Every structure is written in C-alpha cells, then in structure tokens.
Structure 1
Amino acid sequence: MQLTDVWFVVIAVLWIGYFFLEGFDFGVGILTKLLARDRAERRVLINTIGPVWDGNEVWLLSAGGATFAAFPEWYATLFSGFYLPLLVILVCLIVRGVAFEYRAKRPEERWQRNWEHAIFWTSLITAFLWGVAFANIVRGVKIDAEMEYVGGLTDLFNPYALLGGLVTLTLFTFHGAVFTALKTLGDIRTRARRLATGVGAAAAVLAVVFLLWTQADRGDTASLVATVVAAVALLAALGTNLAGREGWSFTFSGLAIVAAVAMLFLSLFPDVMPSTLNEEWSLTVTNAASTPYTLKIMTWCAAIATPVVLLYQGWTYWVFRKRIGTHHLAPSGGH
C-alpha cells in the first residue's frame, strides 16, 4: 500500500471519529429545544457533553490538518469551492464554543436562554451542512483542468446534497437522543428513549435512500458491505432502544454512523474529489498528494502522537461516565 493510500485511510478514520463523537454532541445540542422542558433539563443536557465537546472537535482539527498536509490540492479546491458553507460551519462552531463557555457566566435567565438558543441553532445548522458538504464531495462537483472549482453556490444545494444534509441532521439527533438516555436519570431519560424512536425511524428511511443512491451511483462491493452494516446497525439501535438497552443502542447507533461514513469514503476512493465536467480532471489520491518525503514525516509523527491523544480522550470519557439528573445541578443556575 502506498503512503497516499495510507493517508487517505487515516483521513477517513479521522472523519469517522469526528462524526461518531461530534454526532451525539450536535444531537444533544439540538435536543435542548426538542426534548428539554425547562431550564433545569436544558442544563442537564448541556452538562452531559460539557466535559467532552471540545475534545471531540480535536478530531475535526486533525482531519483538516491532515488533509492540508497530505493532500494540499484537495484541501485548496475543497476550501475554495465550498468557501461559504464551510465558513458558516466555522462561525457556528466558534459561536457554539463561546455559548458553552459563556452560558453560565451570568445567572440571568435571559442571558442563559440566548446562549442556549445559540447552542441549538449552531448544532442544527452544522449537522445539516456537514451532510451537504460530504454529499457533494462524493457526488462530485465542477472541477476544471486546473483543479479549481468552477461551479456556483447553488450547485452545492442539489437534491442529493440536501438529502445528505437531512441524513446527518436526523442521524446525529438520534445518536444524541440515545446518548442522552444513556447519560441521564429520571423522566428526561424516558422521554429521550421515546424521542429516539421517532427520530431514528426517520433517520433510517432517509439514510437507506441516501446510501442506496450513493451505491447505485459510485458504489462497489466494499461500499455495499458497509451499506448493509450501516442499515443493520441502525435497525439494531432502534430495536435495543425500544428494549431499554441504552448501552447497546448507543453502540449500534455509533456503528451505523461509522459504517455510513466509511461507505462514503469507500465509494470515493481512489478519487478525493471527483469532477463532474471530465473524469480526467478529478482529484485523486495521486495527483492531489504531497511529496513522498512529506507523507513519510507525517506518518512518523502520527504514529507517535495518536496513541497519546486516544488514551487521554478515553480517560476523559471514563472519568465522566456516570449518569446525571436534575438533582445533581448546582443551585446557582450555572453548570
């Protein structure tokens, strides 16, 4: 296997990890309006992800940095062509992070409610736009012979991409509802399971249509296997959620996301950004890659740093593994 292939796999794994972790993170943010009935329950939801949300975003930084270093042509074309959607995502992530940190700085209800609105909308918009972006990457966009995107903003919001956005939105919301049921106590836990059933059913329908569309357009045997795994895992997540087996439901919902994102990358390879104007103008793991020396240095750095990061993040989740409820909240109205 060439180093270009290795780094394509590494970047795929980073995005898979990001969507698995940030998926329930965004889902919980969306549930602050869909599930929580009062201020106390919103605080409980936010506290379930409070210790880990910023660590989850490390996966995004790693994926972006790895793409820039390993496939600079891919990075340049992607970020120039998708400039406005990615800028909106970046602004949402910034506002979302500020909202988490500033919400509890003052006790006034209006102050906290405004930041909670920000958490909801930035979670929802980001969850939708990531699906739009990745659907366009897999489907292909207008790239010319100079490896430059020559399409317009409206080209990115085609039916396939909009369906991809709805898939990530509903799937992340389901993942977040299952995580909430796993991490909370009392009535909010019961209602989270109930909400997960409805949202999960919608996500299953949308995801199956989207994955089959992708399979018919670009798929092969490997992507078909991933599609089947994603569908079975999502059905298993729904079944175990109905049975009240929250740990298994979260495991299966996570597996569904992992398999679905893996399916997209399997469908994409060896391209990294197909051209809809001419197949010969597509960006591939070969023509978009850095020099072999750069990839070699990156491989050594990743081999040393990755286990440390994984151990630290795993330890963080272990420390904050227990369930919480409204009776755990501090009386001050803060965290």
Structure 2
Amino acid sequence: MELALIVTVIVVALSFDYTNGFHDAANAIATSVSTRALTPRAALIMAASMNLIGAFLGTGVAQTVGAGIIEAPAGDNGLLVVLAALLGAITWNLITWWLGLPSSSSHALIGGLVGAALASMNVVKWDGIVEKVVIPMVASPLVGFALAFLVMTAIQWIFRRAHPGRVNRGFRMAQTFSAAAMALGHGLQDAQKTMGVITLALVVGGYQSGFDVQWWVIVVAASALALGTYAGGWRIMRTLGRRIVHLDPPMGFAAESVAASVLYTTAFAFHAPISTTHTITSAVMGVGATRRLSAVRWGVAGNIVTAWVLTIPMAGLVAAGCYRVLHILPGLSSL
C-alpha cells in the first residue's frame, strides 16, 4: 500500500504543479501581452522556458515547505495527509481559475497542508507559518505596491521631457527582459513548493531521511510547471492585464521588474514561499496608482484581495474534507 500511495502522491503533486503553471502563467506575461510587448504565444514560450530554468536555481523554499509547515507522521497515514493537502490545493486552484481570480497557488498548498494536518490531528508548526508564510504574505504585496509606485514615479520624472512614442517603444523592448525576469522568479518560487511536498512524501514514506531535494524531483517539478505554464491561463491574464488598470509599456516594465526583485529576495535571502500572484498584482496596482488612484479599478482589486484572504482557509477546509473521504475509502479506512 505504501508504495502505491507514494506514487499516487507524486503524480498528484505533479498535477498540482501543472495546474500551478497554467493558473499562474498570467503572473509572468499578462502585463507584456496587454502592452503588446510580446505576442501571447511568444510570451508563453518565453515564460515556460524561464520557469524551467528558474526551478534549478535553489531549494531553500522547498525545504521550508517540506519541513517547516507541518509534522506528518511516518507511513501511510502521513502520505494520506500529503495527498489530501494536494487535492485541497488543486480544487481551490481550479475554482479560482474558473472565476478568473489570481489567487495564490502557494497559499492554496499551504492551506491544504494545514487543513489536512488538523483533520488528522497532526502537528502544525504555527511559529514557522507565522514567520515564513503570514508575515511574507502581508509584507510582500505592501512592498510590491510601494516599490512599484516609487519606480514608476521615478520613470515618469526621468522621461518627463521625452517623446511618448519613443518611450513606449523603448520600454516595450525592455519588457522582454522584465517579463523574462518575472518568469524566472516564478520558476524559482513555485516549482520549489512542489519539490517540497514530494520531498515530504518521500520522508514520511521512508524513502529518504532529511529534506534535501533529490535531483530527479527538481527535474520533474520543473518540467510539470513549465508544461502547465505553456498551457496558459487566459482568464486570469485578462484580469491582470486589463481589468485592474490599463497598462502602458513603462508601467508594465516597472511592475514586472519590482515583482521579480521581490521574488528573488524572498527566495534567496529568507527561503520564504511567497505568492507570485500577490506580488505582481500589487505591483500592477502600485504603478496604476501613479496615474491617479481612480485609474485602479478598486472593485476588481477588492475581489482579488477577498480571494487572497479566503485561499488558505478554503483550501484547508477542502483538504480536511478530502482527508476524511480518503479515510473511509475501502482499503484506506484502516490507516
């Protein structure tokens, strides 16, 4: 039973990784597509390629997700906890994707882990969640908004006497690089979360000791994320690219550059699994606010924030329900 369960967990984890890719594809490319810096297909190819590369740049976030959120028991019951967590995260991802809301796949996974652990009466590492999840969850959008506002203000001042057409053409070219940087950061952050869950499954299943990520886990997680990204996330792309604020190339460049910087800093310096969705969305709001506050469609932004707040508890509830269902299935009820 244990081998079958661990294979199932790995397959479901890679499925989550794939849904993460198409759910969050818009994070990296929506601004570039909306400003016509890149065609949708070229943007998706670029984003998928950079996601793949970014996944090989570190494993600190993976170790935080694997070892710092819950204590899953060894054996089949621990694998059921991880499986239920993944099912809860996937379900919430699909719901928000269908509604076109850029919620956080990262927080869906963390909520799933917490919900499944609570349902199974296992330990939740609340100190680690506060330090590595809650504080970055609040801080990263605020930092993204403020930095994007400042960077966009600086761009407006520096190019205040330049010809608007030339400025737009220059920043449209620059967006190729800022979008690539954003996609690289997405791969760096989000692929590691799946690596962490697979590593957790291997540890509780008795197939490894310690939370160092094996090379084949990196390869399969990177590949699944890249394939999912290439599949695209058109519903969310429309929300980020048009419905929050109408972007021009300088605004798109500023938002992407700031968001990428926040992703790199949190991954390398703090090993914190922050949300790429929250970061780029808040940066888009920040650059939009430099035009005028009314340029940001705050009603749409409010719906997005509501999805942010609901993600962890709702994914947790679904995961808890999944754990209960798995426990009554034939062959699993005795675990």
Same-fold status (TM-score > 0.5)? no
TM-score (norm 2): 0.31
- The higher relative CO (CA closer than 8 Å, separation ≥ 6) is in 2
TM-score (norm 1): 0.31
